[in-house]
Amino acid sequence: MRPGESSKTAVFVCAGRALAHGAAGVGAFSDPTALALLPEAERAWVERARAHQLPQSGRERWVLAAAERRAMMMVARTVAIDEMVRAAACRQVVVLGAGLDGRAWRMPELADATVFEVDHPDSQVVKQARVRGLTQLAREVRFVAVDFTRDDLERALASAGHDPAQPTAWVWEGVVMYLTRAEVSATLAVIARRSAVGSRLFTYYHRPGLLMLLVGVWVRRLGEPFRSTFGVAAMRRLLAKHGFRVMSDDGLPSLGARVSPSVGAATRWLRHARIAVAERVEGGA
């Protein structure tokens, strides 16, 4: 990340949501906030792409095809986590590494919830400027500035008024792979201490594999390298260690297929990407 800018990967995934909004064959997906949250240049590119006004050079066709693949990934990922947040029905929602997430401005189910947006201070300055033109649907949004590699997450949440005695829905999307295993475990320890029984944790993570290595080369060039992967059993053990019982753990292709056949087909190569749903139980750390 460059000082004063949003995360580049956050911009890429937001552009994917903006590109998919209103497109045919994406089932229950909708994100009317994504376009407004993008930087001006990326917003203009998405608008041209949606209007079929991009140049037809070979490079531009390749860039568009890659963006459309990311868009289908974001459809599968977003729909799955939206459904999980609705089912949890918690009055506290903590979005860890919120980036350009728009849930507090597009999900009417959050009308009774306080949403804690946790992210790097530079990303939050940019985002707060962009959400001014959006209608907030959550009861309240509290921005919590945290650098996960350096800052005290627990102290920051406490200062923002998060109540550990009340159930919380934790959305940990698009963060785990950028942290070391030690940082992942340390973050989970904080989540556990601040989770009442019945809290839910939605964790998007990556299994090791060849594709992860290839994608890792690309994100490293963006200055945001991958730092950890977890096998399914390893993730289950780690969550159990911190007092969370895994309720489900699905790969992105199967989650995509539940949205629509076209999304399932477009995400079939993403077998390494998974979402684990876990519930806080008695007797944990």
Query: What confidence score (pLDDT) does residue 226 get?
Result: 79
Range ranked top by mean pLDDT from 26-35, 241-250, 275-284: 241-250
Distances (CA, A) of 169 to 27, 28, 55, 224: 24, 21, 43, 26
With vertex at residue 215, the alpha carbon angle to CA 210 and CA 216, rounded to the nearest 5 degrees, is 90
| Confidence check: pLDDT of 65 > 90 | no
Query: What confidence score (pLDDT) does residue 1 get?
Result: 47
Contacts of 213 (CB under 8 A, 6+ apart): none
Q: What is the mean pLDDT of the chain?
A: 91
Model confidence pLDDT, tens digit, residues 1-58: 455 556 788 898 999 999 999 987 787 899 999 999 999 999 999 999 998 888 878 8
How far apart (Å, rounded) are the C-alpha atoms in residues 144 and 40? 25
| Confidence check: pLDDT of 159 > 90 | yes
How far apart (Å, rounded) are the C-alpha atoms in residues 122 and 145? 9
With vertex at residue 215, the alpha carbon angle to CA 213 and CA 219, rounded to the nearest 5 degrees, is 115
| Confidence check: pLDDT of 285 > 70 | no
Residue 20 near residue 29, CB atoms below 8 Å? yes
**Which has the minimum average pLDDT: 49-58, 141-150, 162-171, 229-238?**
49-58
Parallel, antiparallel or unpaired: strands 244-251 and 273-280: antiparallel
Q: Domain segments of the chain: what residues? A: 77-280
How many residues can be counted in the chain? Answer: 285
User: Span 77-280: which CATH code?
Assistant: 3.40.50.150
**Which comes out higher in pLDDT, residue 27 or 175?**
175
| Confidence check: pLDDT of 236 > 60 | yes
- Residue 83 CA to its chain's centroid (Å): 14
Parallel, antiparallel or unpaired: strands 168-172 and 92-96: parallel
Closest CA to 180 of 229, 214, 215: 229
With vertex at residue 272, the alpha carbon angle to CA 271 and CA 275, rounded to the nearest 5 degrees, is 90
State the amino acid at position 92 in one-letter form: Q
Query: What confidence score (pLDDT) does residue 217 get?
Result: 57
How many CA within 13 A on the CB side of residue 170?
33
Distances (CA, A) of 13 to 20, 48, 81, 282: 11, 17, 15, 36
Q: What percent of the chain has pLDDT over 70?
A: 92
Average pLDDT over residues 107-111: 98
Distances (CA, A) of 36 to 75, 100, 171: 18, 10, 22
Say if pTM beats, i.e. exceeds, 0.85: yes
Tokens of 95: 């979005």
Average pLDDT over residues 156-179: 96
How far apart (Å, rounded) are the C-alpha atoms in residues 134 and 260? 29
